[in-house]
Amino acid sequence: MKKSLLIILVALLLLPIINVNAAAPVITETSYSNGRITIKGTGDGEVQIVLFGKDNLPVYMTTVTAENGVFLVTLPSISGLEEGTYNIKTSNYSGEETSTGTVVVTAEPNPPTSDNITLYVVLGTTSLIGIIALSTYVYKISKRKKDNKKS
């Protein structure tokens, strides 16, 4: 009985020392759309994600919780990202198990706009002709009234 109690006591004392690491989170998919980077992967528990710039310095860092062995995070819009390939590093919460991935940032085309210059030219010309015609009409009426007063 004393030996069993001693083994249990030693096990309880060593339990906090034993470090059970979760498997390294692995990036399975990355995408870039509308100025935002989305990262999907597998892992357990808390997953740290670091996005590195072209100069290999950290640009953005976040932590996400994996649920049912899967994590998914969409980073907010990060200003200053240029076209190119960016490295992403993931690790478990203690930072011991790491993996890397990449995301390709591409220039997004501006949304198409309609070219209304023809419409503006037509409206401007029509307005100018209307102003000239109205001015001529008012001038002729005022001239007739002056001529009628003289007679």
Mean pLDDT of 84-104: 88
Q: H-helix or E-strand containing 68?
A: none
Judge residue 97's burial from the number of C-beta atoms within 10 Å of its C-beta, 0-12 exposed, 13-18 middle, 19 or more buried.
middle
**Between 151 and 87, residue with greater pLDDT:** 87
Residue 16, pLDDT above cutoff 60? no
Phi and psi at 114, nearest 5°, equal -85, 145
Q: Which of 31, 64, 27 is nearest to 45 (CA)?
A: 64
Output the pLDDT for position 31. Answer: 93
Reading the block at residue 68, the tokens are 């049912």
**DSSP single-letter state for residue 76:** P
Q: Which range, of 59-63, 99-103, 104-108, averages the lowest pLDDT?
A: 104-108
pLDDT band at 21 (very low <50, low <70, confident <90, very high): very low
